[in-house]
Amino acid sequence: MHLQRVQVPDFRVLKDVDITFEHDFNPRVFPLGSQNGGGKSTLLQLIFILLHCSAIPERYFALKNLLSEFQLFKEQDRRLLAIIDIWDGEKVIELEFFICNDNYINEILLADGLVNNQYQKDNIIISKIGVLEEIERRISGFSNEESELQDIIQEITSNRYQTIPDHIQTRLSKLGISEFDYDPTQTWLDFQFLGKTQNNLKLQLSQEHKRIYDQVDELSEDVDNSIKYLQSKNLEYIAKHYKSDILCHVNNLDIDKVRQFLIDLSNKVFLAAPATQIFLFFPRKIKKSLFVKHISGEHKYPYFQAIDFIKPLLSGIFTYDFLAVDLLIDFFKSARDKDFKQAVETGEYGNNYKDLLVELSSLLNNKIVNVDADFLSVIFTINQSNINIKLYSEDLSHGELKRLSIYCWLKYNNIKDAIVLMDEVDLALHPDWQYKIVSDLVDWVPSNQYILATHSYELCQALTPSHVKVLEPKLTERRSE
C-alpha cells in the first residue's frame, strides 16, 4: 500500500491542503514540514484515523472524537472531509470521505427520478443505518444489563430501602425501566413480596429487550435498502456522526470489494507519535485533563490512562515512551520461542535470540541489551576490558532508547508493505542520527512508505528536495454555523 495523494479542504487548521507522495520515488520516505501549529500532526492523525478506523466498528469512537467539531454548517447537506488516493500496486483508488444528512440522499433520489416512488423514498434513509448500529451495540450488551439488574435487586433487598434512592432510579432508567411497582408498606421479611418485586423488574427488562428486538426487525429491511442504494452509487457507509453520517465515495474499485479493501488497508496503516500529540483521539473531557493539575495520590493522569485504554483498540498506534519495555521483552520472548520451536523440529536450537542481541547492540553504540532470566525486566551492560559492566538509566540517552523502541516496534510487529506515519521522529536524536534515521528506516523495513512530520533540516537533507513536502501557512477564518 502507498499513500499517493491527500486533499483536505477545511479541517481544523488544515486549509486547502493538496500533497502528493509519489509512489515511484526511491526511497519511499517523505519528510513533511510546516511552521509550529501548521497542522503536521493533525494531518497525520486525520489520515491515520480515516484509514485505520473506517472499516472497524470497534474503532469508530476514535473517528467520532477526531471529528467532534467537524459538523455540517447551517443549510449544508454535505461537507467534504478529505480525499485520499491509495496506490495498491496496480492502480490508484480514490477514497472521498464526507459527512452528510438525509437531504443529500434525497437530492440523489430526485436526480434518479425515484423521489416520486414513495416506497423507495421512505425506505432509503441513511440515518436509519446509524440508528440500527446503535441498537445492535446495545443488544450485544444485554447480558451485562441482566447482570446490572441483578446487582440492583441485590442492593434493594440487602438495604431494605423504605424509598428507592435516586441513584437506583437512575440505574433502572438506563435499563429502560421507568416504572417500579414498589410498596414500602410491605415487610422485607415477606418472601412473596420480595419475589414479586424481583419478577416485576425482570419482566420489565425482558419487555424492554423485546421492544428493542422488534425495532431491529422494523429497521432491517429499510437499512438493507439504504445500503444497497448507496453501494449502487459507489458509496460506502462508515458511521453515524452526531446529526449527520460519515460516508466514503470510492472510485476505481468495484463496490463489492470496497469493504474488504478498507479492512485490509486498516491493517496496513500505522502511526508513531509522542503520547501528548494524539489528544484528538479522545473526548473533550480527556483532552482537558492533559492541562489539569494532577491530584496527589492518583495513580496516573486520566489522559495517560486513556492512552493505555485505546492502544489495544487502535492496534496501529505506537507512542514514543522512554523505553517500550513490554515490547522489547516480548521481542526477546518471540526470538526465544522461535529457537525452541526449531529445537523441537530439528534437534538444534536456532540463532534467533543470539542474532537479536547482535542487532540491538548495533543500535546502541555497542551497549548490550538483554532481559533477566524471568523475562520481567530489561538489562543494559557494556563490555569494557572483557568485563560486562551494568548500566543504569542515567547511562542511557533518550535518543538511544527512542531509536531502539522504533526498531523493536517495526520489527516485532512485522510492519511491512505498510503506510507508516511518524510524528516528531527527530525529537531527542542528535543531528547525525536525524540525518541517519532515513537510511535506518529503509534498512530496517525497506518495503514500507514512511511519512515523517519533522522540523529537522538534517532529516530533510538526507533526501532530494522533491521528497520534502511542506504545509504552507494559510490564513484562516472561523465560519459561523
Return the HEC string of 350-385. CCHHHHHHHHHHHHCCCCEEEECCCCCCEEEEEEEC
Instruction: Give pLDDT, residue 298.
Output: 59
Q: Count Cβ atoms within 10 A of the Cβ of residue 243 and give its class: 0-12 exposed, 13-18 middle, 19 or more buried.
A: exposed
Read off the pTM. 0.79
Question: How far apart, in whole angstroms, are the C-alpha atoms of residue 260 and residue 231?
Answer: 14
| Strand locations in 234-290 (E) | 235-241, 244-251, 269-273
Instruction: Give pLDDT, residue 118.
Output: 46
Question: How far apart, in whole angstroms, are the C-alpha atoms of residue 42 and residue 387?
Answer: 48
The ranges of the chain with pLDDT < 70 are 112-127, 130, 160-162, 179-194, 294-300, 393, 473-481
Condensed to tens digits (0 to 9), the pLDDT of residues 318-337 reads: 998 777 888 888 888 999 99
Amino acid at site 244: S
Question: How far apart, in whole angstroms, are the C-alpha atoms of residue 444 and residue 363?
Answer: 11
Condensed to tens digits (0 to 9), the pLDDT of residues 1-56 reads: 899 999 999 999 899 999 999 998 999 999 998 888 888 999 999 999 999 998 88
Give the DSSP H/E element, type plus range, for residue 8.
strand 2-11
Q: Which residue has the cell 528536495?
A: 465
Instruction: Give pLDDT, residue 52.
Output: 94
Contact 361, 367 (CB under 8 A): yes
Instruction: Give pLDDT, residue 297.
Output: 59
> So where are the chain's domains?
115-235, 302-452
Instruction: Give pLDDT, residue 181.
Output: 59
Contact 247, 63 (CB under 8 A): no
Instruction: Give pLDDT, residue 141.
Output: 82
Instruction: Give pLDDT, residue 480.
Output: 42
If one counts every other C-beta atom within 10 angstroms of the C-beta of residue 42, the result is: 23
Residue 279 DSSP code? G
Question: How far apart, in whole angstroms, are the C-alpha atoms of residue 265 and residue 255?
Answer: 15
Burial 201-211 (b: 16+ CB within 10 A, else e): beebbeebbee
CATH number for the region 302-452 comes to 3.40.50
Pick the closest to residue 250 from 268, 235, 269 (CA basis): 235
Instruction: Give pLDDT, residue 385.
Output: 72
